[in-house]
Amino acid sequence: MSGITGFMSFNKDFGPQGGKWLNVLNSMRGSITHRGKADTQTVLNSKVCLSMNSKKDKGPIEFYIEGKHYYVMLDGYIFNINDLKPSLKHNKLKTGSPLELILFLFLEHGIEFIHKLNGIFSIALYDGNNFYLIRDRLGNKPIFYTVKGEILIFGSEIKSILKFPGVECILDKSCLSEIFALGPAHIQGSGVFKDIKEVTPGSYLHFEENTFSLKQYWAIKPLPHTDSYEDTVAKTRKLILNSIESQTEKNTASLLSGGVDSSIITAIANKTHKEKFGTAIQTFSFDFKGNSKYFTPSQFQPGQDRPWVEKLVAALKTDHTYLEADVNDLIDNLFKAVDARDCPGMADVDSSLLYFCSKMANTNTALSGECADEIFGGYPWFHKKEMFEAECFPWSSNMGLRKSILNESLLSVLDIEGFADKTYKDALKSTPVLESENAVDKRRRELAYLNLKFFMMALVDRMDRMGMYSGLELRAPYSDYRIAEYVFNIPWGIKFKDKTVKHLLRKSCEGVIPNEMLYRIKSPYPKTYNPAYDSLLKERLNDVINDNNQPLTPLINKVEINKLINSPSDTGKPYYGQLMAKPQLLAYLLQVNYWLANYKIIIKI
């Protein structure tokens, strides 16, 4: 795990005021030390000011080859590094470090070297004439940037950019619309704040003599699927096994929810760890105090997960830890989660993960079952008629609720519904489809593409920020781009065979875990059912909306929010996804208020 940050310019000379710029660089680096504290490297010369924190030795960031200086920084991991070393025509590697390998691949192949990498990464690379910021295909690792005058400023997290002199936290009309119309999802490329951008997944930013260009080097493509059912199952199994095995290192842990996705990963990772290192893996499961008392079955969560965790732990004999949070833990971590993300996020879905990550002492890396539902079609909008046919983001269809919480003057400026509709339709236009496909198959493509671009990205961002803020790197083996590429083109009749949700994933992993676990009904990320949580949220939000000095109050409709506070806990219409209903909306508003205040945000609309 690591964090990268810095700034550079082809025209400005940082040398004459080196002390000043070193202080700026140290402040930027210091803001993201949670991403890696063990090893810090800093470079400052006339053109580039770079710094990298890492928790594992990735090698030096500065190289001197044939009379020329090169600089490379990496946030993340290259999983096929051992396969790439022998491929170099003139292997002059001295340390064999990932940074050295990246540089030599670049020297041999130019920027096209990125097609050879399989991993989760953001890379900064400078050869004296060109500066590149490169992001992995599915966006597992973040990289943000802004331009101030002639200076390019970048960082693994927005907070490092905000440490640069003169960079302000400004929200314009588009930024506010994104927060209230799409949040916690966001538009790829947007850094939420005005003039702060992210390198989009599968792209790289090229800076050359003050000329900027963002170039896409990878995109998911529509291809005819010609494999038989049997071959499809076998190939999917091979891809899953390879992804999990390649990401299982010594002392890698697993987040075991008891659901199908995490159980498959845990079983494969445990077998791999035993074969490679001779010991079972650590596993962790999460729950909330009092859930056994307050739990009520629903269509999204028909049963509790702990019995299934216990069964798999007993079968695999893993080194298991049960972690629990109470309602105060959830509330307290709501605001730490904003600090971790640099913006409001998935409310207690974020804060609970942040809390649990903070309790995974002495664990550096853990595998998560995230992204299986997006890639294999596990959500109800893939197969429920009314959601499948909805002409909107199916996880965010309750625009009436979103509009009701804002005051009329703000609504007249933002056009919440229009913003969401335009974003949705723009995404549909870019969906890759085959000309031969009928309307239903085309819609399948659209939903799969929307999930990769929006819903999955919110979860990937959540994993990275909550984990790294706690010094823990979370990896999602299902988000391997090779799995995404292959499964994207598999017909729905195979993915949903026998009307079984995620049939392909289950069938391809038969024998990995017992069938009673493999074919159990989907169970989402756990949440608390304790009514005390709802009461605490109401109390805190009530305090906020009745204080005219709070930054949220000029934006909201107090009458409607009071109605919301006094309405039943579950309105039956989640405002985002399956788990984010009324309590999570209240929590989201608390996060927005905290964010506006603590980041000293300026609103310009």
Could you tell me the two tokens for 601? 């945000």
User: pLDDT digits over 400-459, tens only?
Assistant: 899 999 999 999 999 999 999 999 999 999 999 999 999 999 999 999 999 999 999 999
Q: What is the pLDDT of residue 573?
A: 65
Q: What is the pLDDT of residue 581?
A: 81
Nearest 10 degrees: CA dihedral of 102, 107, 113, 118? Answer: -20
Could you tell me the CA-to-CA distances from 2 to 35, 73, 216, 472, 534 in Å, in that order? 5, 9, 24, 10, 37
- pLDDT > 70? residue 350: yes
302 contacts 264 by C-beta, under 8 angstroms:
no
Task: Please say whether the dihedral angle defined by the alpha carbons of residues 13, 16, 18 and 19, taken in this order, is positive or negative.
Answer: negative
User: pLDDT digits over 7-58, tens only?
Assistant: 999 999 998 888 999 999 999 999 999 998 767 889 999 999 999 988 666 6
- pLDDT > 90? residue 340: yes
Q: Say which residues have a Cβ less than 8 Å from residue 406's Cβ, sequence separation at least 6.
A: 180, 414, 416, 555, 556, 557
Mean pLDDT, to the nearest integer, of 129-148? 97
Q: What is the pLDDT of residue 58?
A: 67
CA-to-CA distance for 553 and 31, rounded, in angstroms?
30
Q: Say which residues have a Cβ less than 8 Å from residue 398's Cβ, sequence separation at least 6.
A: 573, 574, 575
Least confident of 172-181, 382-391, 485-494: 382-391
CA-to-CA distance for 294 and 307, rounded, in angstroms?
16
Q: Say which residues have a Cβ less than 8 Å from residue 16's Cβ, sequence separation at least 6.
A: none
- pLDDT > 80? residue 524: no
Q: What is the pLDDT of residue 314?
A: 95
352 contacts 336 by C-beta, under 8 angstroms:
no
| Buried b / exposed e along 298-310 (16+ C-beta atoms within 10 A) | eebbeebbbebbe
CA-to-CA distance for 111 and 124, rounded, in angstroms?
12
CA-to-CA distance for 441 and 382, rounded, in angstroms?
11
CA-to-CA distance for 457 and 139, rounded, in angstroms?
7
User: pLDDT digits over 306-339, tens only?
Assistant: 888 999 999 999 999 999 999 999 999 999 999 9
CA-to-CA distance for 187 and 71, rounded, in angstroms?
31
Q: Say which residues have a Cβ less than 8 Å from residue 546's Cβ, sequence separation at least 6.
A: none
- pLDDT > 90? residue 180: yes
CA-to-CA distance for 194 and 199, rounded, in angstroms?
15
Q: What is the pLDDT of residue 40?
A: 84
Least confident of 72-86, 277-291, 359-373, 571-585: 571-585
Tell me the DSSP string of 240-262.
HHHHHHHT--TT-EEE--SSHHH
User: pLDDT digits over 288-304, tens only?
Assistant: 887 667 666 655 565 66
Within the chain, all domains assigned CATH 3.60.20.10 are found at 2-216
Q: Say which residues have a Cβ less than 8 Å from residue 213's Cβ, sequence separation at least 6.
A: 205, 206
Q: What distance lies between CA 517 and its chain's CA centroid?
A: 27
Q: What is the pLDDT of residue 56?
A: 66
Could you tell me the two tokens for 574? 């989640």
User: pLDDT digits over 222-270, tens only?
Assistant: 999 999 999 999 999 999 999 999 999 999 999 999 899 999 999 999 9
Name the band, by pLDDT with cuts 50, 70 and 90, for residue 362.
Answer: confident
CA-to-CA distance for 426 and 466, rounded, in angstroms?
30
Q: What is the pLDDT of residue 247?
A: 96
> Structure pTM?
0.95
Task: Please say whether the dihedral angle defined by the alpha carbons of residues 108, 113, 118 and 121, taken in this order, is positive or negative.
Answer: positive
Least confident of 82-91, 369-378, 403-412, 545-554: 82-91
Nearest to 348 by CA among 139, 476, 188, 532: 532
CA-to-CA distance for 124 and 50, rounded, in angstroms?
9
Q: What is the pLDDT of residue 290?
A: 73
Q: What is the pLDDT of residue 520?
A: 85
The residue whose two tokens read 């080196």 is 18
Q: What is the pLDDT of residue 525?
A: 62
Name the band, by pLDDT with cuts 50, 70 and 90, for residue 371.
Answer: very high
Give 440: exposed, middle or buried? Use CB within 10 Å, 0-12, 13-18, 19+. exposed
CATH superfamily of domain region 2-216: Aminohydrolase, N-terminal nucleophile (Ntn) domain (3.60.20.10)
Give 56: exposed, middle or buried? Use CB within 10 Å, 0-12, 13-18, 19+. middle
- pLDDT > 60? residue 601: yes
Within the chain, all domains assigned CATH 3.40.50.620 are found at 229-389+450-518
Q: Which residue pairs, CB below 8 angstroms and at least 24 apart, start in 13-22? A: 13/46, 13/47, 14/44, 14/45, 14/46, 14/47, 14/48, 14/49, 15/45, 15/46, 18/44, 21/49, 22/49
For the 229-389+450-518 domain, the top CATH level (class) is alpha beta
Q: What is the pLDDT of residue 577?
A: 77
Could you tell me the CA-to-CA distances from 183 to 214, 429, 559 in Å, in that order? 25, 21, 22
Q: Is 171 left (phi over 0), alpha (psi -120 to 50) or beta?
A: beta
CA-to-CA distance for 89 and 125, rounded, in angstroms?
21
Q: What is the pLDDT of residue 194?
A: 96
Amino acid symbol at 148: K
164 contacts 153 by C-beta, under 8 angstroms:
yes
